[in-house]
Chains A and B, each alone.
Chain A
Amino acid sequence: DSGVTQTPKHLITATGQRVTLRCSPRSGDLSVYWYQQSLDQGLQFLIHYYNGEERAKGNILERFSAQQFPDLHSELNLSSLELGDSALYFCASSAGQGADTYEQYFGPGTRLTVT
């Protein structure tokens, strides 16, 4: 158990809908990262938050957004869903940001299926 929790575990929704994925980092970790894992694209970095502020963006679509709240949990919002958005979405947390060696601890993931 990494200490990172993600809810829900599974989500099935229809095209055009909007969903919210939730992540709680390990106790004390200030950084939260979101990743998308699909068979054709592999593990893709989406976005990084540190202590409530966005730090870096990766391959995140404009239809997707995220935020990190004062209690450090994070939410990833996916809107106008398309079939191609079906994937595993992972959250990871780490103690620091930037110039550090802190590894990332991954949650169990949310499997999103868009029908």
Chain B
Amino acid sequence: AQSVTQLGSHVSVSEGALVLLRCNYSSSVPPYLFWYVQYPNQGLQLLLKYTSAATLVKGINGFEAEFKKSETSFHLTKPSAHMSDAAEYFCAVRNNYGQNFVFGPGTRLSVLP
């Protein structure tokens, strides 16, 4: 069975500071990994995805994530936070055996001026 944990239900950073949102997964087979962002009162939007190509994945809005198999992690980073990054971020995993997405509990990012 697959599962996703996201350390920290709420993360606060100052504008211009590094953003680091943690995601660890468990999967018995090679996973596909995704980060989604949800702005208030909106649906989820795909930020980036890992599909067994490059381990460092670049996404939209300056975000990137690195797949580390040895650590079963897929942490999301952005070098410099912007006020508009304030949102809820979800990590998700699926495998290539037909199982559906499993989402983590989400991390709410606050950006302080």
A interface residues, Cβ below 8 angstroms from B: 2, 4, 33, 42-43, 45, 48, 55-56, 58, 90, 92, 97-101, 103-109
Measured in the bound complex, the distance between the Cα atoms of B88 and A25 in whole Å is: 23
B74 within 8 A of A: no
Pick the contact of B43: A33, A45, A55, A109 (CB < 8 A).
A109
Which 3 pairs, one residue from A and one from B, show the smallest C-beta to C-beta distance?
A98-B98, A106-B43, A101-B51
Find out whether the CB atom of A45 lies under 8 angstroms from the CB atom of B46: no
Find out whether the CB atom of A97 lies under 8 angstroms from the CB atom of B101: no
Q: Please name the residue on chain B nearest to A90 by beta carbon.
A: B43
Measured in the bound complex, the distance between the Cα atoms of B97 and A45 in whole Å is: 17
CB contacts (< 8 Å) of B67 on chain A: these are none
Report A109 CB to chain B, min CB distance, Å. 5
B interface residues, Cβ below 8 angstroms from A: 32, 34, 36, 42-46, 49, 51, 90, 96-103, 105-106
Measured in the bound complex, the distance between the Cα atoms of B98 and A55 in whole Å is: 9
CB contacts (< 8 Å) of B100 on chain A: these are 33, 45, 48, 56, 58
Report B41 CB to chain A, min CB distance, Å. 8
Report B28 CB to chain A, min CB distance, Å. 15
With A2-B43, A101-B51, A103-B49 in contact, do A42 and B103 touch (Cβ < 8 Å)? yes
Q: Please name the residue on chain B nearest to A109 by beta carbon.
A: B43
Find out whether the CB atom of A42 lies under 8 angstroms from the CB atom of B106: yes
Measured in the bound complex, the distance between the Cα atoms of B100 and A55 in whole Å is: 10
- Extra contacts, 18 of them, besides A56-B98, A106-B36 (Cβ < 8 A), are A2-B43, A33-B100, A33-B101, A45-B101, A45-B102, A48-B100, A55-B98, A90-B44, A92-B44, A98-B97, A101-B96, A103-B34, A103-B49, A105-B46, A106-B43, A108-B42, A108-B43, A109-B43
Measured in the bound complex, the distance between the Cα atoms of B49 and A85 in whole Å is: 31
Q: Please name the residue on chain A nearest to B44 by beta carbon.
A: A106
Measured in the bound complex, the distance between the Cα atoms of B61 and A112 in whole Å is: 31
CB contacts (< 8 Å) of B90 on chain A: these are 43
Report A97 CB to chain B, min CB distance, Å. 7
Find out whether the CB atom of A104 lies under 8 angstroms from the CB atom of B101: yes
Measured in the bound complex, the distance between the Cα atoms of B105 and A56 in whole Å is: 21
